[in-house]
Amino acid sequence: MAYSTSSSSSIASDLKAHLIKEVKSHEVAIAELNSLSSSRAVYQKNGNIFFRTTNQKATASEQKHLDVTKRKLEMLNIS
């Protein structure tokens, strides 16, 4: 039984580390997008294809992904 508990604890800590890394990645992406001029076109990856979009749309999308990832991390910390 102790093996199961330590195994689930290890999985939870791995997931938490992955989510923290993902949060930092989204924060860096948002900072980089904010440093670009608003008239500059950017490319956003959807699946395996890159699509041209505006800086504002890409920033909004990254912010949405950041919010979702933070919620997942909060849920992991609660349980």
The whole model's pTM is what? 0.80
Q: How large a percentage of the chain has pLDDT more than 70?
A: 90
Spell out the alpha helix ranges (H) of the chain. Answer: 2-35, 55-78
pLDDT at 5: 56
pLDDT at 78: 84
- Tens-place pLDDT, residues 10-47: 888 899 999 999 999 999 999 999 999 988 889 999 99
Domains and CATH numbers, the chain: 12-78 (1.10.287.370)
Nearest to 15 by CA among 69, 66, 51, 55: 69
- Tens-place pLDDT, residues 53-76: 999 999 999 999 999 999 999 998
